[in-house]
Every structure is written in C-alpha cells, then in structure tokens.
Amino acid sequence: MKIVLTPDWFLGKDILIDSFSFIVLIIFSVLAIRSYKLNKKNRNLLYLGTGFGLIALAQMACIFTKLILYYDIGPAQAIGQAIIIGQFLSSVNIFYYIGFFFHNFLILVGFYIIYRLPQKKMYIGDYALVLYFILLSAILSVYEGFFYFFHLTAFVLLVLIVNNYYGIYKENRFVNTRLLIIAFSILAFAQLVYVLSKVGILFAVANIIELISYVILLFLIIRILKYGEKKKPYGYNIRHADNRSGKKRGH
Amino acid sequence: MDIISDMLTIVQERNGGIKPTHLMYKANLSHNQMKVYLNELIKKNLIEKNAVKNGVRIIITKHGRDFLLQYIRMKEFEKTFGL
C-alpha cells in the first residue's frame, strides 16, 4: 500500500527540503529566544521562538517518519513491532501515524501561536476550542482520504498570519516585514497545492514552493544578523529611532 | 536598555575612547543620569575607564560590543515581527 503521496522519483529529495526548512526554523527559534533572554521584557519574543521551535520540531518528526518509511530502518522496525503485539499493523504504519500526527499537530499549533502574537487577551475557553479543532484536523489528516484537512487548516492560519503582518507592514513600511509577508504568502500557496497533491507531480511542486518560502526566510535571517554588524545602525540615539522605516525620506 | 545601548553605540564609534562629558552630551543625558548609567555599565563590564594624560577616556569592552550587537539584532527582530 502506498501511504505517502511523494512520487517515487522525488523520494529522498523531499527529506532534503524538510531538513533545510528545519534548519531555518530552528535558527529563527534560537534567535527569538536569545533576543528574549537579553532583557526578558518582551514575552512575545519568547512565544515567537516557541512557535518557530514547535514548527521545527514538527519538521523533525516529519524527517524521522519519512526516513523510516522510505528506508525502513531496522531499530525503528523492532520498536514498532514491540509496540504492536497483535501485529495487525506493520511497524512502518505505526510510525507513519504517530510521526505525521505530531508533524501536523505541532505545525498547526506553531502557526497558531505566530498568528496570535500581536493580538490581545483571549479567554481560556477560546484556546480550548482552537486546540480541539487543531487536534481534530491533525488526527483526521493522518488518514489518507483526509490528508487535505491539515493543509486547508494550515492555509487558513497562514492567510490570517499574512493578514496580521500586512497590518503591521502598513504601519512600519519595513522591508523585513514585507519579506516576511512574501514568505508566508508563498507558504500559504504551497498548502493549496498540497491539497491537490494526489497528482504526484503537484506534491513535488508544493515541496519546491515551500522551499522557496524557506529560502526567503533564510534571507531574512541573514538580513537581521548582518544589520547588527553595520556601523552606527540607528544613529547615535537608538531610543529615538522608532520611526525608522524602509521608505526613503522625502528630503 | 535603550539609553544603555545609545551610550554603547557612541563609545563604540570612538575607537580611541571618549571623554565622559562628550558622552553625556551626545547621549542627551543629565549629569546625574550619566553617573548612574556609567557605574552600571562599568559594573557589568560593558565599558571601562582608562586614565590618560589629560583626564579619563571611556572605552567599550569586548563584552560591551557583543551585547550591543545582540541588542541591535533584537530590535531588528522586534521591528520585523511588529512585537
């Protein structure tokens, strides 16, 4: 039984793309958490780092699961068989369900955290409701016929994230925020292509679109890191530099 | 934090060190503020005072440079994500 949508000629290459996105996400997470630790005042930095960290973990779960599926690694087989005493599922299948459930769940929670960041307080009941729908989506989409549930949910969350950052961009007109919007928009488009990925070639196309968005995110990281090394970046008074924007001044 | 990073930026710009009074003017600080922040920065090993022929020069330490770099990156991060 074919339990992944990856076309045979693309097997392995998708793991490379996932590994690349894992590296980008983990760098984002570490940067955000290190920034938070600097003065521990802006908790949103910590939440942002957690959001990216969860998505990075999800990519790791995905890479691990695919490695087992594609190459049927021996130790994993043994663990799987130990778990299922009844032997009505193969060891590969149990890893597939567990691995992709964690992948789907963590990515959706990560996107949700990033979406919630700029907003104000929410009631516990709302969190519970969102968590329920994310869980439902993550569980359902593990089954072959419902795989598109995850991508549709991810698409909706990404559209909401893009909408948030567009609001922020309208205020700050900052080049980095524009890059962020482009990267998340491309990622959202990739989710739509994934929905159609029953057609093998589209799965590969969606993967490549996703890769493009992560390349843009990597470019953004490089911009942030390089900016810090520039001499006198804000002028002498950093505390009066809040109005700095990507727009050139008229005079 | 912003005042501290302003002071560090100014001191870093003057590789050979800066006079305390010049630092006070450039950072837009009062004499009392200057005293408090200067002590704080020295205590945290971000800057150090060097005695020269005609007075005192303030220079930035390696720890101070690293801190300033991290701080500017944090600001860039916050601005990018609108945090």
State the pLDDT at residue A212. 95
Q: What is the average pLDDT across A5-33?
A: 86
Give the closest-approach CA distance of A237 to chain B in angstroms. 5
Tell which wins on pLDDT, A25 or A2.
Answer: A25
Cα separation, A53 vs A217, whole angstroms: 14
pLDDT at A49: 92
The pLDDT confidence band at residue A250, using thresholds 50, 70 and 90, is very low
> Is A234–B70 a contact, with Cβ atoms under 8 angstroms apart?
no
Q: Using CB atoms within 10 A of its CB, is residue A93 exposed (0-12), middle (13-18) or buried (19+)?
A: middle
Of B13, B77, B82, the CB nearest to A32: B77
Among candidate residues B68, B8, B74, B13, the one with its CA nearest the CA of residue B41: B8
Q: How many Å apart are CA A112 and CA A156, to the nearest integer?
A: 10
The pLDDT confidence band at residue A33, using thresholds 50, 70 and 90, is very high
Look at A98-107, A134-143, B37-46 and tell me which has the smallest mean pLDDT.
A134-143
CB nearest to B6's CB, from A177, A224, A239: A239
pLDDT at A55: 92
The neighbour count for residue A122, using CB atoms within 10 Å, is 10
Q: For chain B, first and last CA: distance in Å? A: 16
Locate the chain B residue with the closest alpha carbon to A175.
B80
User: What is the distance, to the nearest Å, from the Cα of residue A173 to the centroid of all Cα atoms in its chain?
Assistant: 24
Chain B contact probe: residue of A119, A239, A240 with most B CBs at under 10 A: A239
Q: Give the one of A38, A171, A237 whose C-beta lies nearest to B71's C-beta.
A: A38
Q: Largest Cα–Cα distance of chain B, in whole Å?
A: 48
Query: Is residue A21 over pLDDT 90?
Result: yes
Arithmetic mean of pLDDT over chain A: 79
The whole-number average pLDDT for the span A10-34 is 89
| Cα A141 to Cα B78: distance, rounded to the nearest angstrom | 34
Residue with tokens 């958490």: A33
A151: nearest Cα among A125, A100, A188 = A188
> Cα torsion at A148, A152, A154, A155 (round to 10°)?
130
Give B76's contacts in chain A (Cβ within 8 Å). Answer: 176, 224, 227-228
More confident residue, A181 or A101: A181
Q: Would you state the structure tokens that stand for residue B2, as one six-digit string?
A: 């912003």
For residue A87, is it left (φ>0), alpha (ψ between -120 and 50) or beta? left
Domain limits, chain B = 2-81
Buried/exposed A190-226: b ≥16 CB within 10 Å, e otherwise: bbbbbbebeeeebbbbbbebbbebbebbbebeeebee
| CA B21-B22-B28 angle, 5° bins | 90
Mean pLDDT over B23-52 rounds to 85
The answer to whether the CB of B10 falls within 8 A of the CB of B23 is: yes
pLDDT tens digits for range A72-120: 665 555 655 555 555 555 555 677 778 788 888 899 999 998 888 877 6
Contact by Cβ (8 Å): A104, A65: no
Confidence of residue A214 (pLDDT cuts 50, 70, 90): very high
pLDDT for residue A243? 46
Contacts of A32 (CB under 8 A, 6+ apart): A45, A46, A48, A49, A52, B77
Which residues in A lie closer than 8 A to residue B6 (C-beta atoms)? 236-239
| Over residues A45-71, mean pLDDT | 87
Q: Which of A2, A1, A50 is nearest to A26 (CA)?
A: A50
Residue scoring higher pLDDT (B80 or A77): B80
Of all residues in chain A, the one with the smallest CA distance to B69 is A228
If interface means Cβ-Cβ distance under 8 Å, which residues of chain A face chain B?
A: 31-32, 34-35, 38-39, 41-42, 44-45, 48, 117-118, 164-165, 168, 171-172, 174, 176-177, 180, 220, 224-225, 227-229, 231-234, 236-239, 244
| B54: amino acid identity, one letter | N
pLDDT band at A215, cuts 50/70/90?
very high
Name the CATH architecture for the domain at B2-81.
Orthogonal Bundle (1.10)
Q: Among candidates A77, A74, A68, which has minimal Cα distance to A96?
A: A68
- Per-residue pLDDT band for A24 (boundaries 50, 70, 90) equals very high
CA distance linking residue A68 with residue A120, whole number of Å: 42
Give me the count of residues in chain B.
83
Instruction: Name chain B contacts of A35, Cβ cutoff 8 Å.
Output: 70, 73-74, 77-78
User: Coil, strand or helix: which one is A72?
Assistant: coil
Question: Of A38, A45, A236, which is closest to B83 when you measure between CB atoms?
Answer: A45
Class of domain A8-227: mainly alpha
pLDDT of A36 higher than 70: yes
- Confidence label for A245 from pLDDT (cuts 50, 70 and 90): very low
Contact check, Cβ <8 Å, A168/B81:
yes
Please tell me the distance from the alpha carbon of residue A248 to that of residue A83, in angstroms, as a whole number.
62
